[in-house]
Amino acid sequence: MDIFEAIKKRRSIRKYKDKQVEEEKILKILESARLAPSAKNLQEWRFIVVRDKEKRKKLSEAARNQKFVEEAPVVIVCCAETDEYRMTCGQLSYPIDVAIAVEHMVLTAVEEGLGTCWIGAFYEDRVKEILNIPEEIKVVELLTLGYPDEEPPSRSRLSLEDIVKWENWGG
C-alpha cells in the first residue's frame, strides 16, 4: 500500500471484530515503531502489549470507561523511559518522539488491514497500577488495535490555505 493511501485510509476505530491479531502483524507494527526517529536518537519509547481480557477491561475503566478499549483484542500502552530531555526549542522530546512512533504503528496497522485508535483520555496512575509500571515511567498514549468492525467516514479537514503560511506568519 502506498503511504499516502494509508494516510487517507486511516480512521479512528472504536468497534472491533472478535478476532485475534496475528503475532507476526503485532511484531511488524512494533518494529515500525522501533524504526521511528527520535531527538538525539534517545529512543525513549517503551511499549506494553496487552492482550489479556481482564487487563483490557481494567484499562478500559482507566480510560474513562471507554468500552471499545476492552473490546479491542490488543491494547498497546505507549510509554517513555525518559530523562526529560528538552530540545533547543524548549519542548520535551519524549511526548513528540512517542507520538512519531505511534503514528508509524498506526500507518503500518492500516497497511496490515487493522484498525487503531489513539487514546489520550485515561488516568495514568490507574494504568501504571494495572500494569505494574514504575513511577518514573511516563504513560503517553494507549493504542487500541484490531480488525475493524466499522468503516467510519472521513472527517472534514481544514484546507491547506487555512493551515499553511508561506515565508512568515503574516504574509
Residue 83, domain member (yes or no):
yes
Q: Are 78 and 45 in contact (CB under 8 A)?
A: yes
Residue 65 identity: N
What pTM value is reported for the model?
A: 0.96
Residue 160, domain member (yes or no):
no
Sheet holding 115-119, edge to edge: 45-50, 74-80, 138-146, 115-119
Q: Which helix (H) or strand (E) holds 67?
A: helix 67-71
Residue 163, domain member (yes or no):
no
Residue 157, domain member (yes or no):
no
3-class state of residue 65 by DSSP: coil
- pLDDT one digit per residue (tens) for the chain, 171 residues: 899 999 999 999 999 999 999 999 999 999 999 999 999 999 999 999 999 999 999 999 999 999 999 999 999 999 999 999 999 999 999 999 999 999 999 999 999 999 999 999 999 999 999 999 999 999 999 999 999 999 999 999 999 999 999 999 985
Residue 79, domain member (yes or no):
yes
Residue 156, domain member (yes or no):
no
